[in-house]
């Protein structure tokens, strides 16, 4: 392992965390945890047309999606997680990418 850590086995970013003998970044570890949690949840019926909805993981959010009417439902607190992630990415994008040169 180098000073900067190994590359994440899933996304390729350099990280120091190791899980299951393979290097994984914290974001990938959280996504794996959410996918396992979603797999254990019962599928729900669409409140619009009664079809069995599917579960999809978008980052760390589990989305219930109806394959018939294409409606999307979020559980309590998930919309706030989406808003927080968008705000964090917006702030990060506004930061300078290189240090200011001394003049």
In the chain, where the domains are located: 1-40, 43-95
Whole-number pLDDT of residue 53: 94
Whole-number pLDDT of residue 69: 95
Pairing outcome for strands 14-15 and 18-19: unpaired
Segments of the chain scoring below 50 in pLDDT: 1
Rounded Cα distance between 22 and 95, Å, is: 32
pTM recorded for the entire structure:
0.56
Helix (H) or strand (E) holding 56: strand 54-58
Whole-number pLDDT of residue 14: 67
């Amino acid at each position: 392992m180098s000073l900067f850590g190994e590359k994440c086995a899933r996304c390729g970013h350099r990280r120091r965390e190791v899980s299951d003998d393979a290097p994984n970044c914290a974001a990938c570890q959280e996504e794996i945890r959410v996918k396992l949690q979603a797999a254990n949840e019962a599928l729900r019926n669409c409140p619009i047309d009664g079809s069995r909805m599917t579960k999809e993981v978008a980052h760390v959010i589990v989305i219930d999606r109806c394959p018939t009417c294409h409606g999307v439902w979020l559980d309590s607190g998930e919309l706030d997680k989406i808003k927080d992630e968008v705000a964090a990415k917006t702030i990060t994008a506004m930061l300078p990418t290189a240090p200011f040169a001394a003049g």
